[in-house]
Structure 1
Amino acid sequence: MSQSVINPKPFIRDLVGQTVLVKLKFNNTSYKGTLNSSDNYFNLSLNNVEEIIDGQKEGTKLGDGLFIRCNNVLYIREIKE
């Protein structure tokens, strides 16, 4: 499998307005929502957020304005719906 290096700044900038899945480093927790913005430190702001724990949707709608500090993020990926 071929892997390539991706510059994170344009990658995340291109994801603004898209539905993303943000996996956290701890507690096997993820958040699915629309990426609202990112700053120069790669902190993330999500809207229409849904919490996912251990791969199972909890049904918990967290609404708008969830802020995730960059040091808590394991990975971020776009979700095609």
Structure 2
Amino acid sequence: MSTTGEKGSTTAKTPADFLKSIRGRPVVVKLNSGVDYRGILACLDGYMNIAMEQTEEYVNGQLKNKYGDAFIRGNNGLSKLDFTWK
């Protein structure tokens, strides 16, 4: 929770608010398998399905593939998803 400082008003940011704010921005999606997908976050749903554009796949830090669009299924055994933005 953050406060604005004016007249004691507070604004709470939810995870959904955060994800909406980074839509259309460059992100890195790290999977437990060690594979990173870097690209533009197009959308994300409640099942953690992720659609990305201009996606690059990195394995152990090495570029392996480039994709125009990519879809990562959230229910496909992903136990951890780490978003960072550039």
Determine whether 1:16 maps to 2:20: no
Deviations 1:30-55 (A, max 9, x none): 00000001112232100010011001
Give the TM-score normalised by structure 1: 0.75
Determine whether 1:56 maps to 2:55: no
Query: Following TM superposition, where does structure 1 have runs of at least 4 consecutive aligned residues deviating by more than 6 angstroms?
Result: none
Q: CA RMSD in A?
A: 1.6
Give the TM-score normalised by structure 2: 0.72
Deviations 1:14-65 (A, max 9, x none): 1100000000112x1000000001112232100010011001222x21111x
Superposed counterparts of 1:35-50, under 5 Å: 35-50=41-56
Q: Which has the larger radius of gyration?
A: 2
Gaps of 5+ in 2: 1-12
Q: Distance in 2 between matches of 1:15 and 1:34?
A: 9
Q: More helix by proportion, 1 or 2?
A: 1
* Residue of structure 2 aligned with 1:68, choices 56, 69, 72: 72
Match in the other structure for 1:3? none
Identical residues among aligned pairs (%): 35
Q: Which amino acid counterpart does residue 25 of structure 2 have in structure 1?
A: Q
